[in-house]
Copies of this chain bind each other. A is one copy, B any other.
Amino acid sequence: MSKFSTAAKRLLVGRPFRSDRLAHTLLPKRVALPVFASDAMSSVAYAPEEIFLMLSVAGLSAYTFAPWVGIVVVVVMLAVVASYRQNVHAYPSGGGDYEVTSVNLGRKSGLTVASALLVDYILTVAVSIASAAATIGSAIPYVATHKVEFAVAAIVLLTAVNLRGIRESGTALAIPVYAFMVGIVGMIVFGLFRAFVRGEEMPAESAEFGINADHGELTGLLLAFLVLRAFSSGCAALTGVEAISNGVPAFRKPKARNAATTLLLMGGIAVTMLMGLIVLAQVTEVKIAEHPETQLTGAPEGYEQKTMVAQIADAVFSDFRPGFFFITIVTALILVLAANTAFNGFPVLGSILAQDRYLPRQLHTRGDRLAFSNGIVGLAGFAIVLVIAFDAEVTKLIQLYIVGVFVSFTMSQLGMIRHWNRKLAAEEDAAERGRMRRSRAINGFGFLMTASVLVVVLITKFTNGAWIAIAAMGGLYALMTAIRRHYDRVSDELIKAEADRPSVLPSRVHAIVLVSKLHLPTKRALAYARATRPDVLEAVTVNVDDVDTRRLVTAWNKENFTVPLKVIESPYREITKPVLDYVKRVRSDNPRDVVTVFIPEYVVGRWWEQFLHNQSALRLKGRLLFQPGVMVTSVPWQLDSSSKVNERDTITPGAIRRGLTGDEERK
């Protein structure tokens, strides 16, 4: 093929397809695990602690329920993992809960899940960063007493990094995630070894404290209610499990199978860490109270309660300080990474919703930095509001968190049941039907579990803050419905318009070049206008100043343009209205003509120069567009400063999750 035709082909089809080009950037399981697991794994930093904390309300004796609560959380977790393995196989396109629900349960359910997910992303940032602040505060007391300021600063920093555009790379993500896994699992193994093999005592700093029940001893129903509350807080450990189901396309082939395996691996590790930490907490006799000042007895004056993980690390590595600091650092790091996943996921979900016209269309094109920036700033803003409103207290924020998570879990599993029912109706092969029935059973079990958790969460958390999350979801649902309704209305309007008036081809083009001075931008506009060879071509100027206008007319006549210059009078020294009136007259004289107005414009490079140029032109253009049968053509004149505007970077957050590694992303 000749060189020319290659160039022609490039011109015609642009760059080659993404799918061809980026195949080699797909993730092997060992890289996919850290990429998708930070959110789910990071929750073991706070979930077990929250179980103890909730139980503390009933006094120290209630701590005996902790392992049992932990086991139920593990059961739910395994059920959810098993369920999502079915999702992954059934929807390898990576649409996630929103797709599964929309397809199987309809638009409204899909939108409910979308609202829940959007709220979740905000809370992921707030909870993860609040927990990171508490973790660092366990090592540095100054941070503990300035948690809110620290958390806000961290969110601002994360926002700045994401606005600037970070190039994620699987390797860079892998290091802290594996370090966290090695750290926590290593600590558990070492701790259990010390306790049960060597039989050593490992008292935590709070081992000798007592815990007063908040409202005296609880019994019967009240105690059961409290245990359920502890359980629903513990279910925070499940957040982030669904991440892999959104990222199936980024896996190496066989995609669905690799994703399912990774999901299982992640579930196994999370469950191990969760139960290990609960056992270690009992061995080291950590005492965590909801209100340390009033509940803890025997604590020294001014005692600042550290996180459970920090206290365990302190006890297990008693004399080996680097061990404690390692655990603290990797825990804080993975929590920040978890927050960062929200910064990646939020705009991606936004773009999917925009494609379905629930959000402004321009969010649809993912390469668009500005739309991404708006999403990122909005996410950060809401997260900061939450952090400030709830004093960066993980315990308070978690009350809001779990509702949204389990709304999407439950809806998604219900959708999967429908999915299998539909498939079963169409499938004849017995073996295949058997597999489908098995899958349906798993999703059905998952649905039962998650629905039960959702009910428990709603009952035990509603007045504690879950209502805020539900209200926010309702608000988002209403907003997105309204946006969709608007787009539908516009679409109907166009269809109706098409039926009403079959498009009439304009017969002639009447070109008007707007002239304010006779300088190069005007001459260029005139030359371009002439190049379009319109049926009528005229130059028009508005007389806002007699002297200037007379000078302009003289100069015009000298130039021998052959194009007539018309002067429109403007008794009130306006520009817009006289031009509008003139264009209207041209239109009404020749209704089948299309009028094209050429406006010379300066293109400037510095933001403040915008205020000094083109303002009248912009406003005129805005008004002209309201006239039917009028086109507005901007003829730019690039001032020297415009060359200072460089091409913006086009790195987009979340690229790696879509199967693009950093270097490819940059082209």
Contacts and interface: CB of A to CB of B under 8 A. Distances in A.
A21 B571 contact: yes
Contacts of A368: 574-576, 616, 619
**When A and B form their complex, which 8 residue pairs have the shortest distance between CB atoms, in order from nearest?**
A367-B574, A362-B615, A14-B569, A625-B636, A18-B571, A366-B573, A633-B633, A14-B568
A360 B612 contact: yes
Interface stretch (A128-136, A180-188, A638-646): A638-646
Contacts of A364: 544, 573
Given A15-B571, A364-B544, A594 B528 contact: yes
Protomer copies: 2
Interface in A528-564: 528, 530-534, 543-545
Interface string A480-492: 0001001100100
Contact of A572 (B576, B627, B665): B665
A199 interface: no
Contacts of A615: 360-362, 371
A630 interface: yes
Contacts of A612: 360-361, 483, 486-487
A232 to B, nearest CB: 38
Nearest to A636: B625
Interface stretch (A109-117, A210-218, A518-526): A518-526
A107 interface: no
Given A531-B506, A569-B15, A625 B639 contact: no
Contacts of A173: none
Contacts of A545: 355
A631 B638 CA distance: 12
Contacts of A628: 638
Interface in A248-273: none
Nearest to A503: B523
Contacts of A11: 582, 585
A370 interface: yes
The A interface, classified by DSSP as helix, strand, loop or mixed, is: mixed
Interface stretch (A140-148, A221-229, A306-314, A596-604): A596-604
A361 B625 contact: no
Nearest to A625: B636
Contact of A497 (B520, B575, B642): B520
A362 B498 CA distance: 40
A530 B544 contact: no
Given A13-B567, A626-B642, A574 B503 contact: no
Interface string A583-625: 0010000000010101001110000010111011001010001
A652 interface: yes
Contact of A609 (B486, B544, B567, B634): B486
Nearest to A601: B625
A533 B507 CA distance: 11
A627 B635 CA distance: 11
A494 interface: yes
Given A371-B615, A572-B660, A603-B625, 17 more contacts: A13-B569, A14-B570, A14-B581, A17-B571, A18-B569, A361-B615, A364-B544, A365-B544, A486-B609, A490-B639, A505-B527, A505-B531, A509-B531, A572-B650, A572-B652, A572-B665, A625-B638
